[in-house]
A and B are shown apart, each in its own frame.
Chain A
């Protein structure tokens, strides 16, 4: 049985101090017309135990939303959103449910940023990495240093961020809808040399939902989930190079070899939590060399990516899928693509877990 995305919705990624986890979840479900009559809900969320002292979040969301349907929560760090889509498509493929809603929701502004940073760092191994002073921007910095050594310029990473901010200006639910200049990097707060705040994702609350159906007929638009795959990589400290994103590279190479996917020709959302990662990935796939020509990658992260649309950790993957779905079926105001194929890539940490989805417009 095949699975089709038949609708979706997204709340603006932002500091939603007025909304809780369940408020955001209800808000996005209410605005998703295609999400009605779901037989199952899969909730993607990474941090509710830490941020809101809440276990079994899925059940409490479903009760709050007044829907008496089975629910399960999926957590796989930053890649929770795509992991939830994997579970949802399995429910459809197995015949367990004919319609499944995937709901990504995350609150990251319940505490001051330095406390949220601590919670976010727990996507790494607490005993082997976090206690030893390692945090996500540390790995990003080590990766950037490696890429600088092979010949990339510092401006390459800045240009990624500039492009993401420009893309986000046209996306209604993006968090940072303003342009930045390469010069602004000189003033940016340093997180871990040479990585600055401008190389990092925007941390915001968010909720996004997509409706998956076994049957595309009867819906205005539909996008088929053609293929999905995931891999677990080696811990970054155990690789020859931190910037060696083996799991992600393998998955995207598989898409190229099995389905002929060329990232220069399809709509693609790449996980760009820190600027070195998409650059490392595009380099290892052979789409760029150290001159860092990004102009051919016209349809990459039209959403603004994690960098500028924002990164509500466990919900981000659902945003990515919603965005590709929208782009393949008409686009956002002023942003459209001719491509019928889309790719979503997500990872947790520096390629600890990596996931890809291949989507194709059905109608």
Chain B
């Protein structure tokens, strides 16, 4: 077993849901559930659940080969501006890599990240797929 179950279990909220951290001191919002504001260091923060919908601001078609990534190549990784105004980086699936465009509206979807082959743990987490498109990868 190469993958840790407790490590993944601990961050399940950030992997299965899109949790945001809103700072009550500086007002900025950051992605992921954090105890401290990423921008000003304040601990006066509240956590909110994102709707998981956003717009592709920028993207790249990825060919970089890494252990465990082979079956995801070529893939697309995009900077997505969520409807709450904050940016997040993630994979875009459910669409041909050549069809991803800036301005494309996407929604978060649960997909496989990595697994202990062949019978081990499978990690799942959020990726993005085009909104109003039901095809899966």
Q: Which of B73-88 contact A (CB under 8 A)?
A: 75, 77, 79, 87-88
Q: Is A158 an interface residue (CB 8 A)?
A: no
23 chain-A/chain-B pairs, Cβ below 8 angstroms: A113-B65, A114-B67, A115-B66, A115-B67, A117-B66, A118-B66, A127-B7, A128-B32, A131-B113, A131-B125, A132-B90, A132-B126, A133-B72, A133-B77, A133-B91, A133-B127, A137-B64, A138-B60, A190-B61, A192-B63, A192-B77, A237-B89, A238-B38
Binding site for A on B (CB under 8 A): 7, 11, 14-15, 30-32, 38-39, 58, 60-70, 72, 75, 77, 79, 87-91, 113-114, 123, 125-127
Q: Which of A96-104, A141-149, A293-301 contacts B (4 or more CB under 8 A)?
A: A141-149
Q: For A131, what are the chain B residues with a Cβ–Cβ distance below 8 Å?
A: 15, 113-114, 123, 125
Q: For A172, what are the chain B residues with a Cβ–Cβ distance below 8 Å?
A: none
Q: Is A193 an interface residue (CB 8 A)?
A: yes
Find out whether the CB atom of A135 lies under 8 angstroms from the CB atom of B60: no
Q: For B68, what are the chain A residues with a Cβ–Cβ distance below 8 Å?
A: 118
Contact of B38 among A114, A115, A235 (CB under 8 A): A235
What total of chain A residues lie within 8 Å of the partner, measured CB to CB? 33
Find out whether the CB atom of B63 lies under 8 angstroms from the CB atom of A189: yes
CA distance A129 to B11 in the complex (A): 13
Find out whether the CB atom of B32 lies under 8 angstroms from the CB atom of A142: no
Q: For A133, what are the chain B residues with a Cβ–Cβ distance below 8 Å?
A: 62, 69, 72, 75, 77, 90-91, 127
Q: Is A134 an interface residue (CB 8 A)?
A: yes
Residue of A nearest to B89 (CB): A237
Find out whether the CB atom of B60 lies under 8 angstroms from the CB atom of A121: no
